[in-house]
Amino acid sequence: MNRKGKLFRTLGVTSVAAASMMMMATSSGAASSSSIAKGQPVKIGISLSLSGDFSADGQAFAQGYKLWAADVNAAGGLLGHKVVLDIKSDASSPTQVVTNYKTLISVDHVNLTFGPFSTLLTLPSAQTVNRYGYAMIEGAGGGPSIFQAGLKNVFDVTLPVAYDLAPFTKWVTSLPAGTRPKTIAYATSNDPFTQPVVQTAQKLIGSKIKTVYNKVFPAELTDFTAIADAVAASKAQVVVLGSVDVPTVAAFMQAFQQAHYTPKAFIATAGPDQGATFVKAVGAANANGMMVPNSWFGGSKNPSSVKMVASYIKKYGGTAAGVNADVAEAYSVGQVMAQAVTATKGFDNKKIIAYLHSGVTLNSVQGAVKFDALGQNLAQTAYTFQWQGAKFVQVNPVGDPGSVKVLYPKPAWGK
Amino acid sequence: MNSTALIHAIIDGVLTGSVYALMATGLTLIFGVMDIINVAQGILVILGAYLSYALSAHFGIDLFVGLAITIPTLFVVGIVVERLFLARLKGPERTAMSILVTYAISLVIEGALNMIFSVNPVQLHAWYVNQSFGIFGIYIAYIYVFGFLLAAGLLAALYVMLYRTRFGASIRASLADQTAAALIGIDVKRVATICFGIGVAVTAAGGMVYGATNTFNASTSYDLISRLLVIIVLGGMGSLGGALLAGILMVTLEDIVAVAWSPVWSQISFFVVLVIVLSLRPQGLFGKQSARVA
């Protein structure tokens, strides 16, 4: 055999050996996760955006997960095992989040995994943990791309986002002809979470309200002045903003105020649901009348939610209206996992996945949870919330016992 | 296309672009004199914004008045950083090493800001932040006008210092050729230290205006530094005039494309211009070939 041939054979043997070792490491890592010795903690691996674009949401998610872990441990843990959270920061990067879950499973040997923040990061995360046979229960990956990926291990405890704006569109199109807005503007970030929401709203509204502005802007954009000014120049009576964070909404609000333009209704897909963070950034007076879709708010009468909110205020301070909806989403993830672990009497991810696909109805602070074959939770109701003074209240669906009258038209900025 | 919206976009672009130019001027000055690529410039802008926030929220000091405190403070921060970390960089790898060192500094400052102020986004508030005045049917925000005047004033002061003072002559000599400057008796190290201080000090003003026109947290620095680096590459690394022109060109072009065509293409269009310019002039609009080689 010549020298080149030897080299190739050596490389081949090395590759096979390395691959075998990796497979052994992977399978042993997954196997070790299903049984935990008595007295040992159950380790839950999570990647969160503690810095970067999603850092505010990531920190709120961390609060929710930690709050759940503290409550569970205070009640004796999961099947008697203390819950330990292994949280790694992904800096809001879809690349880093993959590295983090690989490390959590194959190096840290966590028993279970919880999801990160955003559809953008959840998809690569779910694909990664799926390769190791882990279930990924998550609360902020509700974009259609998650459920179109054909994964069997992903479970979103929150209502899928596509129909988030359905109650709002129904309300606005059913207003009496005299008060119904005549024109509408759509501006959305090209994000896998926001675009499906806004596109569905456009379909539902159709030609019932004339579209005078409809643009998509890059998710990386930081200067929104020109776009916001263009929306203001359109004089649309309703603005639907596809946003993922507070800075985007705040930028549009500021530009509208500078342009002396107040739409009759202004709804953003995310941002106003961030409680005290949103109010602090935009000012309490400016928040008045701002609307946002969601499936939970701090004033929810769900007993489980009331208990969580009390626990949150005791731990972090503030008011019920100031509790970020991300906290409830994260807390719900923990609750669903706890019920699955209890029902399957262990930490076997295969059994947990099968159980969650069994059609069982579970409970969370956000309401009922029942997964379909794609991992979507269709048991919840979409709501619209609005800031009315210092209160964050439910306004849609109209006729729901928890809904109050919509503040319409929206008061002028600062009023 | 609505001509009023287009005119508005141009006005917005020029006013906002001047502030980016101010921030980028510090970056290009530092590179021109020291051959250092300060990737911490973005987080220093945010540090300036947070200093203004602290003075405004906790002591009720007006944002512009507060600059009398924040500009000297950041000048001192710049001097300290240069003396402690950058002055030690020697040899042919100095420029490459400066990227790593300033990135490390950036991470430390980011971590500290997150600990002190949390990651929740904040914005600077003052009466002129949300108010505007009308002219020919267009509303122009006071903060953008004030920011433009501040940037123009500081850039003019920088110009006077560079072209009308003895120290400015030393800086220009160092910009042109450090070895020759040292040979004629200029203390190049001292010039470099002060230049770094000045380059960082201008971030106080840029940060204040940025914080008044945008919601920010420490992570915002990543978006900022990428834009600032692009500006100085287009303008020509080491060229103050180039930074000014490129800053205004970048934001104005983006705003025009966003209004006249689509926001999706706004940033791409600028990069198309950047590629075309660099294909024709690899040294940027006003850069000198030697500056890139250095």
Cβ A293 vs Cβ A197: under 8 Å: yes
Rounded CA-CA distance B228/B40 in Å is 11
Domains A32-161+303-369 and A163-295+383-396 share a fold: yes
- Predicted confidence at residue B60, as pLDDT, reads 94
Using a CB-CB cut-off of 8 Å, the residues of chain A touching B214 are: 222-223, 247, 251
In degrees and rounded to multiples of 5, residue B32 shows phi and psi of -60, -40
Find which of A195, A220, A258, A273 to mutate to test the B interface (most B CBs within 10 Å of its CB).
A258
- Predicted confidence at residue A115, as pLDDT, reads 97
- Predicted confidence at residue B237, as pLDDT, reads 82
A44 beta partners: A85, A112
Rounded CA-CA distance A282/B123 in Å is 7
Report the pLDDT averaged over residues B43-47: 96
> Which CATH architecture is the domain A32-161+303-369 placed in?
3-Layer(aba) Sandwich (3.40)
Using a CB-CB cut-off of 8 Å, the residues of chain A touching B130 are: 254, 257-258, 286, 413-414
- Predicted confidence at residue B51, as pLDDT, reads 97
Cβ A153 vs Cβ A324: under 8 Å: no
Sorted by where each begins, the domain ranges of chain A are: 32-161+303-369, 163-295+383-396
Q: What percent of chain B has pLDDT over 70?
A: 97
| Position with higher pLDDT, A219 vs B294 | A219
Q: Is the pLDDT of residue B227 over 50?
A: yes
**CATH code for the structural domain at A163-295+383-396:** 3.40.50.2300
| Position with higher pLDDT, B12 vs A292 | A292
- Predicted confidence at residue A78, as pLDDT, reads 96
Which of B83, B78, B16 minimizes the C-alpha distance to B47? B78
A326 in B contact zone (CB under 8 Å): no
Per-residue pLDDT of chain A (415 residues; tens, 9 = 90+): 454 455 445 545 545 454 444 444 444 444 445 678 888 999 999 999 998 888 888 999 999 999 999 999 999 999 999 999 999 999 889 999 999 999 999 999 999 999 999 999 999 999 999 999 999 999 999 888 899 888 999 999 998 888 899 999 999 999 998 999 999 999 999 888 899 999 999 999 999 999 999 999 988 888 888 899 999 999 999 999 999 889 999 999 999 999 999 999 999 999 998 888 899 889 888 999 999 998 888 888 889 999 999 999 999 988 888 888 899 999 999 999 999 999 999 999 999 999 999 999 999 999 999 999 999 998 888 899 999 988 999 999 888 888 999 999 999 998 7
Distances (CA, A) of B261 to A135, A172, A233, A239: 44, 29, 15, 20
A220 in B contact zone (CB under 8 Å): yes
The beta-carbon neighbor of B215 closest among A221, A250, A258 is A250
In degrees and rounded to multiples of 5, residue A169 shows phi and psi of -65, -35
Sorted by where each begins, the domain ranges of chain B are: 3-293
Using a CB-CB cut-off of 8 Å, the residues of chain B touching A286 are: 130
Q: Is the pLDDT of residue B62 over 50?
A: yes
- Predicted confidence at residue B89, as pLDDT, reads 85
| Cβ pair A56:B223 closer than 8 A | no
**CATH code for the structural domain at B3-293:** 1.10.3470
ipTM: 0.80
Q: Is the pLDDT of residue B144 over 50?
A: yes
| Cβ pair A229:B13 closer than 8 A | no
**Contact residues, B window 210-249, toward A, CB-based 8 Å cutoff:** 213-220, 222-224, 227
Name the token pair of B66.
Answer: 């507060």
CA A184-A147-A54 angle, 5° bins: 65
